[in-house]
Every structure is written in structure tokens, then in C-alpha cells.
Amino acid sequence: MKQIKKIGLALLLLLSVNGIKAQTVDEVIDKFIAAIGGREKMLALNSIKMDGTLTTQGFDVGITVTVLNGKGARTDISVPGMSEGYRIITPTKGWNFLPFQGMTGPEEASEDMVKAGQSQLDLQTSFLDYAKKGHKVELQGKEKVDGADCYKIKITYKNGKSTVVYIDAKTYYRVKAVATVDVNGTPTEVENTYSDFKKTPEGYVIPYSQTNQSGTIIYTSVEINKPVDEKIFVAN
């Protein structure tokens, strides 16, 4: 009888601990949205322009990222001593013009690259009202990123592409994202890590440092909800 009571007590304590620590995927997402500005602010986010520098292979490359929510995303790339290039993604098409890679004119992005870039067009984050947008999410437990406990969430977008997002269990900031894209017919894993989080005057928390296989981008200025000419999302 004593042994049974001990087992019962152990189970009770275990359930109590799990009840305290366990969180649903929606609870994690709600805290993530609250941490980066809150639901109302995210719904009001319509455009963003970020200027910075990409350090790669010993070179400093100028980067300007301009996104108009749901309309288009453009990354302008300035390599010293060479013509400026760009990447454009819209809901239906995309273009690349990278003269420093030998391109003599803009080339249409592959269907897979256009699909992979759609999440960039959602400035309000794909997690916000994800079900209404046709996305699915799955909490895959916890994993450490640079020594910090993170919630691991897989989001599968309505177009079938997916990304695994790591959200810091203390700050609830997104600190890493891993996606698979098709590069010249080969599935390639692309990992981005984010750091140096700062709050803009408008109240949005944004990572000013982003690192991937290409190098590290340090952003020096961010403009929120300024007018954007949609013509920049057409190849020129």
C-alpha cells in the first residue's frame, strides 16, 4: 500500500511539473507576437526598409531590403566597383539581377524560389492568424541555440513549403530559422540566425544582425510604414 501511495505521489508531482512547464504551440506563438510588438502593432505593419552591410569573404557589400506587406520584397545589393544588383519576390513572380555573378540582365526566379520567398512578404509574420492564412504549425519540443533553450516550431505554409523556427524560451524572440530551398535542382538547407534585437521608435522589436551561409548582415537603419512605390517590385 505504501509503495502504491509513493507511485501515486510521484505521478502527481510529475504531472504538476509538466503542467507548469508545458506550453501549447499557440501559447508560444502568442508570447512571440507580444515580444516583437503585440498583435495590434503587427496588424498595423505595412512596410519596412532596412539598410545595412553584408560582410562576406572579406568584402563589405551594401544591402537595402524593402518590403511592402503582401505586395513585394526587394533586396538591393551594392558591390564596390561593380553594377548594383537586386532580388525581387512578389506573390506570383520573382527576378534576380546579379551582375557580379555574370548576369547581363534580370532573370526570372524559379517557381520554387518564388514559393520559398512568400513568407518574406508577410511582414505581420506568418504565425499571426496562421490558421486563417492556411498555414499549419507544430511544436517539436525544445532545442538549444547558442546555449539558450528554444521552442522548435515547424510552420508549413499553404503552398507546401516549410520552415523550422526557433523561439528563445526566455525572450520569445525568433533566434533561428531553417528552410530547404531548391538551388539549381538541388535541395539546399538555408539557416539564418538572428541577434542584436532592438526596439524601434514605433515599438517593433527587430534583429539588427542576421547571419547565414553567405555571411553576416548588420543593419544600421530601419524605416517603418514609409510610402513604398510598387514599381520597384518589377524588374528593370
Residue ranges covered by each domain of the chain: 24-73+110-225
Bridge partners, residue 216, by sequence: 55, 211
Nearest to 148 by CA among 178, 171, 177: 171
pLDDT for residue 13: 45
Q: Smallest Cα–Cα separation from 65: which of 77, 56, 57?
A: 77
Helix boundaries (H) for 22-141: 25-35, 39-43, 111-116
Model confidence pLDDT, tens digit, residues 60-103: 999 999 999 999 999 999 988 787 999 999 999 999 999 988 89
Grid coordinates of 115: 514559393
Rounded to 5 degrees, φ, ψ at 57 are 50, 40
Torsion of CA 126, 127, 128, 131, to 10 degrees: 90
> Which residues of the chain fall below pLDDT 50?
4, 7-20
Give the span between the Cα atoms of 184 and 6, in whole angstroms: 61
- CA end-to-end distance (rounded Å), the chain: 81
Fold for 24-73+110-225, please state it.
outer membrane lipoprotein receptor (LolB), chain A (2.50.20)
